Chains A and B, each alone.
Chain A
Amino acid sequence: MNEFWNWDLAFEALPRLLTSFLTVTLLVTVVSTAIAAVLGLVLAILRMSLPKPLAMILKFIIDFIRMTPIVVQLIFAYFAFTNITPLTIGIIIFGIHYATYMAEVYRAGIESVPKGQWEATTALSMSRTRTWVAVIIPQAVRATVPALGNYAISMFKETPFLLMIGVVEMVQAGLIFGGNNFKYIEAITLAGVIFLLASYPTSLLIGRLEKRLAFKH
């Protein structure tokens, strides 16, 4: 038997890693990104349309969530909401945490919409809702797509934090497998390789998308 790297063990670990990768890691990444994309936009719009004192409170809450560890937020929610499954808590907390990042991105996007567009909606006496939905958001969101993609990748790589609340995502599955076999190198290395193989090509694609979107502007 090879001391350093055991291929049998590696092939035994791989299906377990891929199973938890599909059922937890990818699931959390996709659903939480969707939550972050929508909630982030809501937060950004609220911040710009609420009366000033409320907007300042909202900004403080956003900053507070953004500047504190998602690990602590996960554990906090895990103990506070014992009637919700850890996986659901993970999805919600990841969604909220990244929504606070996205809110900043959307805000920059909204601010980059030329003033003339706002004035035009006034001139056309559009309602406030119609102004946002038909004019501002479509223009603001376009440039934010690459940022959303990049945040999805960093969220993807942060999903192992879920092991702190007992969710068996890919790395935890690797740790369990390693512990059972008294050998960690295969499972943990493979987990790293899977992260790399999934995130690197995606980040290249996002880079290309970014260039294309920037070009048309």
Chain B
Amino acid sequence: MDSNIEALVAALPRVLDGVWITIQLTLGGAALAMVIAVIFGILARSSRTLVRGFARTVIEFFRGTSLVVQIFWFFFVLPQLGVELHPMAAGILALGLNYGAYAAEVVRGSINSVPTGQWEATTALSMTRAQRMRRVIFPQAWALMIPSLTNLLIHLLKGTAVVGTITITDLTFRLDSLQRDTNTFFAYGLGLVIYFVLAYILTLIMNALEVQAKHRLGRGESLKEALSLRSPDTGVEAGEAAKS
């Protein structure tokens, strides 16, 4: 075991480097996914058949063709068509498009779930369409969509583990070299724990965002109520919610 720790200390800079790359892929992919989700989620609600059809096609295409196929397409096929992408760019693009397509469905569904009265009220106040979306509908839909987005974010984080196949030295890739200096159980056990901690931190941040989003809507949650609802992971939320 001591030799394992020594090997880990020696390998630590490389492992941390891998963790950082995994975080970059996750956050980059999530940012792109969110942009795509909002654009296509809104387009998919359009009353114009052509616009809606276009959005649906894009969404179903990127949901249906498998993440790994998309990663390889951007990495192996695009260069043969004359477009060279940095592996990180290919990875982020594939993750963002794939999970963005899933998230677009979440955005669409959440916007649809905002009560009709809210839409009618914006008409009564003669708001423009942009005002209606930005100031009334989206903030309410946002609070509704966060739990599903949290799930997708964790899936995205887990999905990044495959990028070793396109020469990216992420956490999973680094575990393989750590394994050679230690053993399978140590290296991959540690790797799983790191991924779990990352996923847990992301969940806490998203929970805090949800508390904040609901608080902004003035939906009655005093801090105390928000705390008592989610007893196991209150620490971060309490801090976050107090700031907002």
Residues of A whose CB lies within 8 Å of any CB of B are: 4, 64, 67-73, 75-76, 79-80, 157-158, 160-161, 163-164, 171, 174-175, 178, 183-185, 188-189, 191-193, 195-196, 199-200, 203
Contacts and interface: CB of A to CB of B under 8 A. Distances in A.
Contact of B196 (A68, A71, A171, A178): A68
Interface stretch (B132-140, B184-192, B206-214, B222-230): B184-192
Contact of A72 (B154, B185, B191): B191
Interface stretch (B6-14, B30-38, B70-78): B70-78
Q: Binding site of B, secondary structure by majority: helix, strand, loop or mixed?
A: helix
Interface in B173-187: 175-176, 179, 184-185
Contacts of A183: 80
Contact of A199 (B64, B68, B77): B64
Contacts of A69: 157-161, 172, 195
Contact of B66 (A71, A72, A195): A195
Given A188-B73, A188-B77, A72 B192 contact: yes
A70 B68 contact: no
Contacts, number: 112
B200 to A, nearest CB: 7
Contact of B65 (A68, A80, A195): A195
Contacts of A64: 192, 196
Contacts of B192: 64, 68, 72-73, 76
A66 B164 CA distance: 21
Contacts of A67: 154, 158, 195-196, 199-200, 203
A75 B69 contact: no
A20 B61 CA distance: 22
A172 to B, nearest CB: 9
Name the residue in B65, B68, B72, B76 with the highest tally of chain A Cβ atoms < 10 Å from its Cβ.
B68
A184 B166 CA distance: 14
Contacts of B195: 67-69, 72
Given A67-B154, A75-B172, 5 more contacts: A70-B158, A72-B195, A188-B72, A191-B66, A192-B66
B84 interface: no
Contacts of B188: 72, 75-76, 79-80
Contacts of B70: 192
Contacts of B77: 184-185, 188-189
Contacts of B68: 158, 160-161, 163, 171
Contacts of A70: 158, 161
A67 B157 CA distance: 9
B72 A68 contact: no
B28 to A, nearest CB: 17
A79 B184 contact: yes
B185 A80 contact: yes
B67 interface: yes
B176 to A, nearest CB: 8
A200 B57 CA distance: 11
A200 B64 contact: yes
Contact of A184 (B76, B165, B191): B76
Contacts of B175: 72, 75
Contacts of A203: 64
B242 interface: no
